[in-house]
Amino acid sequence: MMRGSFMRTVRLGVRSLLLHKLRSALTTLGVLFGVSSVIAMLAIGEGASEEAQEAIRRLGSQNVILRSVKPPEDQASEQTTRVLTYGLTYEDFERVEQTFPGVERAIPMRELPDEVRFGSRSLHPRIIATVPEYQAATGRVVHEGRFLEEIDDRDVANVCVLGYEVARHLLPFQSSIGESVRIGSDYFTVVGTLLPRVRFESDRADPGEGITGEVFIPLKTGRRWFGDTILRVRSGSRDMVEVQLHEIVAEVDLTENVPFVAAACRTMLEREHTQRDYEVIVPLELLLRAQETKRIFNIVLGSIAGISLLVGGIGIMNVMLATVTERTREIGIRRALGAKRRHIVTQFLVETVVLSVGGGLLGILLGLVIPAGVERWADMRTIVTPTAPLLAFGISAGVGVVFGLYPAWRAATMDPVEALRHE
Amino acid sequence: MSGRDSAEPVAELEEVSRVYHLGENVVTALDRFSFRFEQGEYWAVMGSSGSGKSTLLNILGCIDRPSSGSYRVRGEESAAMDDDALSDLRSREIGFVFQSYNLIPQLDVLENIMVPLFYQDEPPADGPLRARHLAERVGLAERLDHRPPELSGGQQQRVAIARALINDPALILADEATGNLDSATAVEILDLFDELHAEGKTILLVTHEPAVGERAESVLRLTDGHIAEVVHGREVGA
Ligand SMILES: Nc1ncnc2c1ncn2[C@@H]1O[C@H](COP(=O)(O)OP(=O)(O)OP(=O)(O)O)[C@@H](O)[C@H]1O
Ligand SMILES: [Mg+2]
């Protein structure tokens, strides 16, 4: 059929549908809600998954992270009177760094719970005793001055680098470089400050206990001044904890080697530690798991979408069958006046597709509005990929064709004489 | 007038039968029916109810097929045609006028008149112009954008006649075309048929009413699917 006559068929189809406005509007609802919920759910799912994957990627997908974990209480209770000793050791660190093939470098880290003071102001930030490589491994960016350097560790220097929030709270309206701040009972010279980190949704889940910001000191300096034993005074009871290292980040040379290094770390820790006082976090594994979760989510979503569009399609088919019966006479007339079967098929197929595509377009509109609303009111990230509306449009057109074929075929194969006699 | 070869019959039936099988019963609506309709003739087809008038008209109009026998429209054998070819034949050579007008309600007058052209393989470029002329011709020039429900029965039937003329058909087939109209309106419609006949159109008009039958040039009377009587060549309007 020529383009002009096809456009006329579409126009006439629309006009026939407008004869029954309410019925046509109700018929499109199935596809409308099917399409809009698919787009909205895809957008929300995509947003959530992207956020999770970003948080994991921030841990470094080529890293294997070992962390000290306080062993379960029942084991610890046997040692009530003694100092509670657990966690990663300097030996663990050396083994990881020196003996594991594939480990490019390992970064040890300790966290010291203490107060940081400048003048009358004080804070309880995370005090992190670590090595210079920590900066590169975690993507911290220097704002003023410099990060920790090799020489600080060698000299066991009393220097520190302040995180953005700490610098701002402790030394507002002034450069903090060269100032001395008190950490615990010692004075440290500020050699640098950092830029704030981009905040992510998952940061809120960090066990921060209201601590704002971070302060970095050289690992050896930390060990000298604070030892391996940390005294915590908590609501009257004294709590002695001995932890050598809180975290070791092993940077692996190639992504393919990450699983081997992870396995080696687990084996080593199992052998060396008598209790489960550590955990091994493999961001790559988490990433793969997140991707798998997303895949399952998509399959579930796809099934729901399929079902809702099926229901929408059946609704359309039902109405079109009724329409065909109702317009039997018209079909007979058109056939008597020379319409071929394919003309009748086209006419009813076009009407069905106009219905489903109309519903699909409105559904896309609604499907774009819902994620925008969710983003705004529920404070969740949503991502509408450009393929989702296109896919929805294609599917709704497909639904029209598939569910329109049978009614159209019914119309086209009617006997003209019988059809003309129909009341 | 249409310049076609008038030596050839417009429609020629040879031994045409139309048989309906209803369970064990066999109804023979047309029984080895043979006849020729020549260019420019105006026939009234009469007969009692169930005598096969509509069946004959449906076969002549190619919306029904003979169970056996041969039917040719302007020399084209219809028995050999598939559904598409028959549809094409209808869109070119047949003009239907029905008892209940049978206009398409969602289309306006002008569009209704043009429907047969939509279905031609090569629609003429001057379709809208022709439709306008025909609407004028049947006295509906002022109502081109009206829809059928807004028209009286007589007006609707005029639209239907205009529609039957748009493709300049070989045969105009009217089944009880005046059956739903009051006598005054019926006369107007019959006057229109007279005009068409005077122009040389070939017309078959099925009717029950002797008064209507008398307006035609010739009368073909059926009984039980057979020809009972043929009355030829009366004076038009006598
Ligand atoms: N679809 C059908 N199935 C079975 N029998 C049919 C069918 N159509 C027509 N007939 C039979 O064929 C015969 C002729 O019918 P037809 O409609 O041609 O009569 P008619 O002369 O037009 O009658 P009327 O004046 O009442 O319109 C009748 O006996 C009728 O019962
Ligand atoms: Mg009849």
Residues A248 and A103 in one domain: yes
Tens digits of residue pLDDT in B53-76: 999 999 999 999 999 999 999 888
Task: Quote the CA–CA distance of A13 and B103 in Å, as a whole number.
Answer: 17
Q: Is B39-66+82-232 a CATH 3.40.50.300 domain?
A: yes
Whether the CB-CB separation of B35 and B218 falls below 8 Å is answered with no
pTM above 0.80, yes or no: no
Residue B25 Cβ < 6 Å to ligand 1? no
Q: Which domain holds residue A347?
A: 2-55+289-421
**Chain A CA closest to residue B165:** A337
| Percent residues over pLDDT 90 in chain B | 79
Whether the pLDDT of residue B238 is over 50: the answer is no
Task: Quote the CA–CA distance of B221 and B228 in Å, as a whole number.
Answer: 5
On whether residue A245 sits in a domain, the answer given is yes
Binned at pLDDT 50, 70 and 90, residue A378 comes out as: confident
Whether the CB-CB separation of B39 and B10 falls below 8 Å is answered with yes
- Residue A151 CB partners (closer than 8 Å, separation 6+): A157
pLDDT, residue A208, reads 37
pLDDT, residue A2, reads 56
Residues A102 and A240 in one domain: yes
Tens digits of residue pLDDT in B114-138: 999 999 988 888 989 999 999 999 9
The whole-number average pLDDT for the span A411-416 is: 95
On whether residue A328 sits in a domain, the answer given is yes
Burial of A335 (C-beta count, 10 Å sphere; 0-12/13-18/19+): buried
Helix axes A283-326, A328-336, angle to 10 degrees: 70
Residues A102 and A221 in one domain: yes
Tens digits of residue pLDDT in A334-347: 999 999 999 999 99
| Percent residues over pLDDT 90 in chain A | 27
**Chain A CA closest to residue B58:** A417
Residue with tokens 């006649």: B161
Domains: count for chain A: 2
Whether the pLDDT of residue A228 is over 90: the answer is no
Whether the CB-CB separation of A248 and A136 falls below 8 Å is answered with no
**Three-state secondary-structure class, residue A277:** coil
Residue at which a domain ends, from A276, A304, A327: A276
Residues A256 and A303 in one domain: no
Residues A135 and A91 in one domain: yes
Residue B46 Cβ < 6 Å to ligand 1? no
First to last CA, chain B: 24
Between residues A28 and B4, the one the model is more confident about: A28
Find the length of chain B.
Answer: 238
Query: Please, what is the average pLDDT of chain A?
Result: 84
Residues of A in contact with B104 (CB under 8 A): 330, 333-334
Residues A335 and A204 in one domain: no
Residue at which a domain ends, from A249, A276, A303: A276
What is the CA angle A148-A97-A208, rounded to 5? 55
Residue B201 Cβ < 6 Å to ligand 1? no
Residues A190 and A304 in one domain: no
Residues A172 and A294 in one domain: no
pLDDT, residue B116, reads 94
The whole-angstrom distance between residue B44's C-alpha and the CA centroid of its chain comes to 11
Nearest beta carbon to residue A338 from set B64, B106, B120: B120
Tens digits of residue pLDDT in B165-222: 999 998 999 999 998 889 999 999 999 999 999 999 999 999 998 988 988 999 999 9
Asked if A422 reaches chain B (Cβ–Cβ under 8 Å), the answer is no
Task: Quote the CA–CA distance of A22 and A26 in Å, as a whole number.
Answer: 6
Tens digits of residue pLDDT in A185-202: 889 999 999 887 655 444
Residue at which a domain ends, from A251, A276, A301: A276
Find the length of chain A.
Answer: 423
pLDDT, residue A235, reads 53
pLDDT, residue A236, reads 54
Whether the CB-CB separation of A122 and A166 falls below 8 Å is answered with no
Task: Determine whether the interchain pair A338/B116 forms a contact, defined as Cβ–Cβ distance below 8 Å.
Answer: yes
On whether residue A64 sits in a domain, the answer given is no
Going along B23-109, which residue ranges are E strands? 25-37, 42-47, 68-73, 76-77, 94-97
On whether residue A284 sits in a domain, the answer given is no
Residue with tokens 């030394």: A171
The whole-angstrom distance between residue A261's C-alpha and the CA centroid of its chain comes to 26
Residues A237 and A269 in one domain: yes
pLDDT, residue A210, reads 41
Q: List the domain boundaries for chain B.
A: 39-66+82-232
Residue B99 Cβ < 6 Å to ligand 1? no
On whether residue A108 sits in a domain, the answer given is yes
Residues of B in contact with A341 (CB under 8 A): 83-84, 87
ipTM: 0.93
pLDDT, residue B3, reads 46
Task: Quote the CA–CA distance of A11 and A327 in Å, as a whole number.
Answer: 18
Task: Determine whether the interchain pair B163/A420 forms a contact, defined as Cβ–Cβ distance below 8 Å.
Answer: no
In ligand 1, the atom with minimum distance to the C-alpha of B51 is 21
Q: φ and ψ at A266, to 5 degrees?
A: -60, -45
